[in-house]
Amino acid sequence: MKKVKIFNYLPEIDSFVIDPLYKEISGRLGLREWNEVVWIGRYFCMDNDFGEHWFDNWEERDKVESKARTLGIEYDDLFVIDPSRFKDSRDGPCHTDLERKNFWTDVLMSLELNMETIFSEARKYNSERDLKDDGYIENLELIIEEIRSNGV
């Protein structure tokens, strides 16, 4: 089964951007709330809505904003890991901020998702809307078949 890379890592600013292919696919499938990876964050953060905020770290973005702009990257396209977002302090933490940062950087650098997982999420997301909602995709199955056949 085909997989798609989710993030591209930018070592010069220790940040991530969404891979262009995934960005295009998620856009066609309607998998965009305030960004294309909100739904993925929910899985990473114990499958709850706190996960939609896994990249709400404006202070970290502010630190690399000017350097990102010189690379042609917009502020809102930056995804910076804040290691404190990956601990809950109920029974730990078991690792330092640096250890968590390194771990999650490795995970996101290698993160690929199966297209069927992405399609399933798009179907779920679409089914939670009705015909009148912004974002409802009437021909979602056709789009999924196009992506399966042609890649995008």
Q: Give 40-85 pLDDT, tens digit per residue.
A: 999 888 787 777 888 988 999 999 999 999 999 999 999 999 998 8
First to last CA, the chain: 15
- The closest of 145, 146, 137 to 29, measured between CA atoms, is 137
- The closest of 10, 9, 11, 5 to 23, measured between CA atoms, is 5
pLDDT, tens only, 20-51: 999 999 999 999 888 999 999 998 887 877 77
Reported pTM:
0.90
* Coil/strand/helix, residue 17: strand
What whole-number percentage of the chain has pLDDT above 70?
97
In total, how many domains does the chain have?
1
What does the DSSP assignment read for 34-52? SSTTHHHHHHHTTTSGGGG
User: Residues near 14 by Cβ (< 8 Å), separated by ≥ 6?
Assistant: 64, 80, 105
Its domain, for residue 58, covers 3-150
